[in-house]
Amino acid sequence: MKILGIDPGTATTGYGVIQIEEERFYPVKYGLIETNKNGSPEKRLFSIYEQLNKIVQKYEPDELAIEKVFFATNAKTAIRVGQAQGVILLSAGYYKIPVFEYSPMTIKKMVTGNGRAAKEDVQVSVRKYLGNGVRKVKGKKTHFDNEADALAVAICHLFKRRDKMFVIGGE
């Protein structure tokens, strides 16, 4: 079974695919869907849709887990993230992939044990579960926190859907 975790955003959407085999799980692929910051909203959303469709076609996830949009102090940002989430849901619907949504607090609680954990703590926990090889590419400016958050969403879903312990995968 494969789970595709998504950390939605308009400029940068993180994604992470984890594979579950018997009692083990490990990362298959993680990365970013990035859009042109100078592009129009409709072009940016279409770009997210196209790039996500390619990921879905290549990795064929069985389930998709996504971070819920939460009300932020910046309503404009929350609306844009909600639009990106809508495009992601459209892609999942098109490919008939079941979708599961989790709040940021639930994701942090399931992955780190603390619902108010810092981004760095989430990254440490993701590495603990998936191996130390899960990190940003050296010498390349990335938004690794988005990738780690997407992997955390996938791990959260795995833990929520299973009631048994897994052997930690990774390197």
Residues linked to residue 25 through DSSP beta bridges, in sequence order: 20, 168
Q: Of the given ranges (3-17, 68-82, 151-165), which has the lowest mean pLDDT?
A: 68-82
pLDDT at 144: 82
Residue 165 confidence class, pLDDT cut points 50, 70, 90: very low
Query: Domain locations in the chain?
Result: 2-168
pLDDT at 168: 53
Q: Model pTM?
A: 0.89
What is the pairing mode between strands 99-102 and 24-34?
A: unpaired
Asked if 17 and 30 touch (Cβ cutoff 8 Å), the reply is yes
pLDDT at 171: 45
State the DSSP code for 1.
-
Q: Of the given ranges (9-18, 133-142, 143-152), which has the lowest mean pLDDT?
A: 133-142
Fold for domain 2-168?
Answer: Nucleotidyltransferase; domain 5 (3.30.420)
